[in-house]
Structure 1
């Protein structure tokens, strides 16, 4: 698999995401390779964030705090990706899907690599033509939803984009609820929930 293969796959992902999903799943990559791919995607994402910090410094940010913040950033990105994969897999199975964990994982890791490419392009644009950077981010968001629905449909063999959209929505809601509960536990009682004596 040379660079031309990945470029062609990236184009196919936008033009025909269902076909791209089938090609990715047909690769039959092992779990170890997928975890390495996930780690690489997180590292590239973090490096882009570091480049953004250097090229677009935020007023008031201490230089010595950059490394710890990047470590936290990578942990958030990696954790968020893992939680998303788990949600798409388990919610999809609960709603009648038959996809394997590896199928869901390879598709979500590939989407993360595409996100990194979009972020790199966005960083270049924000330094040259900022208005195009904003348009790229908005277009990428919409296309990302479109691709996600097709990827979920293919991964779980649902044969229904509406059912795939349902899995996507249910997964987002599940992630939001779990995140809210975890944040509440970590942060202590929710303000206003403690009765006044």
Structure 2
């Protein structure tokens, strides 16, 4: 299996791709190395986007330095993984932390590829880049639902959607607490 084949399979048959990744029985060292790689690539992309397109227009993390963006990304991804495990157990699923983190690491790497394509499209046909981003985000949720279903052995995509929603809320609470502790000025909403 190579990167391109797994990337295509993730897009056309996400459930099969998730099963294939789980069948690799990745060691903790491989998963954590992949996690570190995805954080570094995400930070480089964030910094590159600010150079190419101006400050990233990220409503969730406005005006963060690349280093601070990386720190919040680490918290967001790890808290999402932990929250998804709690939510999945409540919905009758179960998995090891490393297995779920490995699946999410792969999805983040796929997302980085999609973001690079979207940034390139801005220079060719900007309106098409906006549509591409929107479609990719919606389809990304579909792929995540399949990965969540397979990863936790859930019985339906409905339960998978519930896990995604609950885990997303849990992760956002963790990030907001962290922002309140270490970067409280980001949480100010007054424009007066």
TM-score under structure 2 normalisation?
A: 0.84
Residue aligning to 1:149: 145
In the alignment, the residues of structure 2 paired with residue 151 and residue 92 of structure 1 have an alpha-carbon distance, to the nearest angstrom, of 12
2:25 counterpart (2, 24, 28): 28
Q: 1:180 Cα deviation (Å)?
A: 4.4
Task: Point out where structure 2 has 5 or more consecutive residues left out of the alignment.
Answer: 56-62
Secondary structure of residue in 1 paired with 2:65: helix
In the alignment, the residues of structure 1 paired with residue 89 and residue 170 of structure 2 have an alpha-carbon distance, to the nearest angstrom, of 14
- Which structure has the bigger radius of gyration? 1
Residue aligning to 1:132: 128
1:46-195 to 2 correspondence within 5 Å?
46-58=43-55, 69-181=65-177, 183=179, 187=184
Q: 1:50 Cα deviation (Å)?
A: 1.9
Residue aligning to 2:40: 43
In the alignment, the residues of structure 2 paired with residue 170 and residue 21 of structure 1 have an alpha-carbon distance, to the nearest angstrom, of 21
In the alignment, the residues of structure 2 paired with residue 17 and residue 95 of structure 1 have an alpha-carbon distance, to the nearest angstrom, of 21
Secondary structure of residue in 2 paired with 1:98: coil
TM-score under structure 1 normalisation?
A: 0.82
Task: Point out where structure 1 has 5 or more consecutive residues left out of the alignment.
Answer: 59-65, 192-197
In the alignment, the residues of structure 1 paired with residue 74 and residue 66 of structure 2 have an alpha-carbon distance, to the nearest angstrom, of 12
Distance 1:100 1:34, change over 3 A: same
CA RMSD of aligned residues (A): 2.4
In the alignment, the residues of structure 2 paired with residue 156 and residue 94 of structure 1 have an alpha-carbon distance, to the nearest angstrom, of 11
Secondary structure of residue in 2 paired with 1:96: coil
Distance 1:51 1:179, change over 3 A: closer
CA contact (8 A) 2:145 2:157 kept: yes
CA deviations over 1:8-43 (Å, ceiling 9, x no partner): 111111111110000000111111111110110111
Total equivalences in the alignment: 179
In the alignment, the residues of structure 2 paired with residue 95 and residue 178 of structure 1 have an alpha-carbon distance, to the nearest angstrom, of 21
CA contact (8 A) 2:81 2:167 kept: no
